[in-house]
Structure 1
Amino acid sequence: MADVLWLGGPPGAGKSTVAERLARRYGLRRHHTDTRTWAHRDRALAGGVAAAARFERLSPAERWAAPVDELYAMALHDERGPMVVDDVRALPPRPRTIAEGTVVTPRVARALPGRAALWLLPAPDLLERRLAERGLAPGPLSLYRRLAAVIEAEVRASGAPHLVLDDGVDAVRAVEEHWARHLAEGPRAAGPAERRALLREANEAVVAQYTGFFARPWAPDGRDTAVAVFSCECGDPACAERVAHRVAAFPRAPLTAPGHTVRPPGSGSRRRSGPS
C-alpha cells in the first residue's frame, strides 16, 4: 500500500470535501473511514472492548449526557485506528487510495506507511463556526471539541505535516498543491467506467453505514425513509455534484445529478440521466 495518501484532521476540517474532489479529479479511490463506524463498533464488541459495550447499552439520551471523558472513550477514537489500517491494507492496490477521516492519526499513518500524509487543522475561530453550523447538541459538541484538541496535540507533538486553515485558505487547492508530485504519479482509474465504479463503491459504503446504524436495537424508526447525500456517478473528473436519495431505494443504475451524462459500455453515444 505504498500509494496510500492519508488525510486527517478534526471534525469540521473539510477532509471529506477535499478527499472527494481530489479523488474525482485524479481518478483515485476514496476510503472514507466514517462510513465504517458501525462495522468498527461491531468489531470492538466482538473484541470485548468495554467502552463499545457501554455505548450500546445506553440509550442515545443517556449516552450524550455522559461526561466528555466518557464520550471520548465510547467514541473508540484510539481503538478504531488499527481497524482503519486493516481496512486499507485489504483494499485493491490499484488505483491509488486517499484514506481520510477523523480517526486517521499520525499513529495510523505510521502503522501502514503510504506515499504521503497530511492533516488539516482549522484555526480555532473557523472550527467553532463550522461546528456551530452543524447545530450540534451539547454532548456531540463537547465530544467534537475534545477530538479536535486530541488530534491537534498529536499532530503537533509528532511533527506530522499539516496545514492550518483559516477563512483565506482554499483547502482543496492547498492540499492539491501540497500533494502535487504525489497526485501526478502512480496508478489511477483507467477511464470513465472505472471512475464510475469507484464512485459507486464510495456510495455503497454510505448505504452500508446507514444499514449498520438502523440495525442497532436502539435505533429510531426511519430505515425506509432515511435520505443520504451521495456522489454523482457520472464519472466526469470535473464533476462536484451531490445527489440526495432515499437510502432504502439506492438504485442499481448509476446515480447521477440532473443533466449529467453516462456513456453506456460499448456505446459511442451519450444519454442524459437524472436522479434514479
Structure 2
Amino acid sequence: MRHVLWLGGAPGAGKSTVAERLARRYGLRRYHADTRTWAHRDRALAAHHEAAVRFETLPPDERWARPVDELLAMSLHRARGPMVVDDVRALPSAPLTVAEGTTMTPAVARALPGRAALWLLPTPELLEKRLAERELGPGPLALYRRLALEIEDEVRESGAPFLTVDGTTDTTEEVARRWAHPLAEGPHAEGPAERRALLREANEAAVAQVAGYFGRPWADGEPGDRELAFSCECAAPGCTAKVTRAATRIPAAPVIAAGHRARPFAQGPEGISPS
C-alpha cells in the first residue's frame, strides 16, 4: 500500500481542500471518505450494526436530539475504519492516492500502512469559526465538536504525526512540504487525459454521495434539488475553480469552469504546464 497518503483530522481542519489541491497539482487520485458515507452505512445495516440501525429508524428530528454519546456511536466513526481499509485496498496502485476524512484514524493507517500519514488538528478558535460557517443545527454541532475531541485524543495518544491548523498559514503548502519526498516520487497521472479521468472520478463520487442520501426512506426531496460544487475538469494543475450545478448525473462532456478549457498539457522541467 505504498501508493496511499493518509490525511486525517477533525471536522473543519481543511482536509478536503488540501487533498483536492495536492491531487490536482501532482496528478493523484483522491479518496474522500465522506462520499462513501451511505455505502458504508448500508454495509453496517447489512451486518445489523446496532447504532447504524438506530440511526436509520429514528426520525431525523428525534435522531439529532439524542445525547452526544449516542450521536457519536451512530456516526460510526470507528466502525467505518475497516470499510475505509477495504475501499482503499481495492484502488489501483497508480497513481498515488490521497485518502482523506475524519474516519482516517491512526488505527486505520496502522491497519493498512501507506507511504505517509498526517493528521490536521484545528485550534479551538478555528474549529468554532469553521463550524459556524456550516450553519449546523444543535445536534450536528455537538457531534462535530465531540468528533474533534475524539480525533485529537486518538492522534495524540497514538503518537501519530499531526499539524496544528490555526488558519494563519497555507495548510496545503505545509502538507506538501512534509510529504515532499513521496509527492515527488509518485507515481503520478501520466497526462491530461488521466488527470481529467481522476477529476471525473471524484465528481462522480460526490454525485453518488448525494444519491445515497436521497435514497434513504426518511429523506425528503430528489438529488436534483441539491446543488454541488464540482471540480473543474480542465486538468490544469493549479486550477481551484468549481462549477455549481444540480447534483444529478454528470454529462459526458467535461465539466469546465467559465474561462477554462480542456487544453493539452506538456511535461517540462518545472512540472506540467500549458502546451
Distance 2:28 2:92 in 1: 12
Q: Secondary structure at the match of 1:236?
A: coil
Aligned pair count reads: 264
Shift of 1:168: 2.0
Q: Is structure 2 residue 91 aligned with structure 1 residue 86?
A: no
- For 1:237, the equivalent position in structure 2 comes to 237
Deviations 1:58-84 (A, max 9, x none): 111011000001100000001000000
Contact 2:223 2:246 in 1 (8 A): no
Deviations 1:12-56 (A, max 9, x none): 000000000000000000000000000000000001101000111
- For 2:123, the equivalent position in structure 1 comes to 123
Shift of 1:224: 2.6
- For 2:269, the equivalent position in structure 1 comes to none
Question: Once superposed, which parts of structure 1, at least 4 consecutive aligned residues long, lie more than 4 Å away?
Answer: none
- For 1:177, the equivalent position in structure 2 comes to 177
Distance 2:220 2:147 in 1: 26
> Which consecutive residues of structure 2, in runs of 5 or more, have no partner in the other structure?
265-275
Q: Is structure 2 residue 240 aligned with structure 1 residue 228?
A: no
Q: CA RMSD in A?
A: 1.0
- For 1:68, the equivalent position in structure 2 comes to 68
Deviations 1:172-220 (A, max 9, x none): 1111111111110121100000000000000000011011111101001
Once structures 1 and 2 are overlaid, which stretch shifts more, 10-19 or 250-259? 250-259
Q: Is structure 2 residue 147 aligned with structure 1 residue 144?
A: no
- For 2:270, the equivalent position in structure 1 comes to none
Distance 2:218 2:168 in 1: 43
Shift of 1:249: 4.7
Distance 2:185 2:226 in 1: 39
- For 1:196, the equivalent position in structure 2 comes to 196
The 5 Å alignment of 1:1-276 reads: 1-263=1-263
Distance 1:189 1:101 in 2: 22
Shift of 1:229: 1.0
Deviations 1:71-101 (A, max 9, x none): 0000000100000000000001110100000
Whichever residue aligns with residue 136 of structure 1, its letter is L
Whichever residue aligns with residue 85 of structure 2, its letter is V
- For 1:271, the equivalent position in structure 2 comes to none
Whichever residue aligns with residue 50 of structure 2, its letter is A
TM-score (norm 2): 0.94
Distance 2:223 2:211 in 1: 8
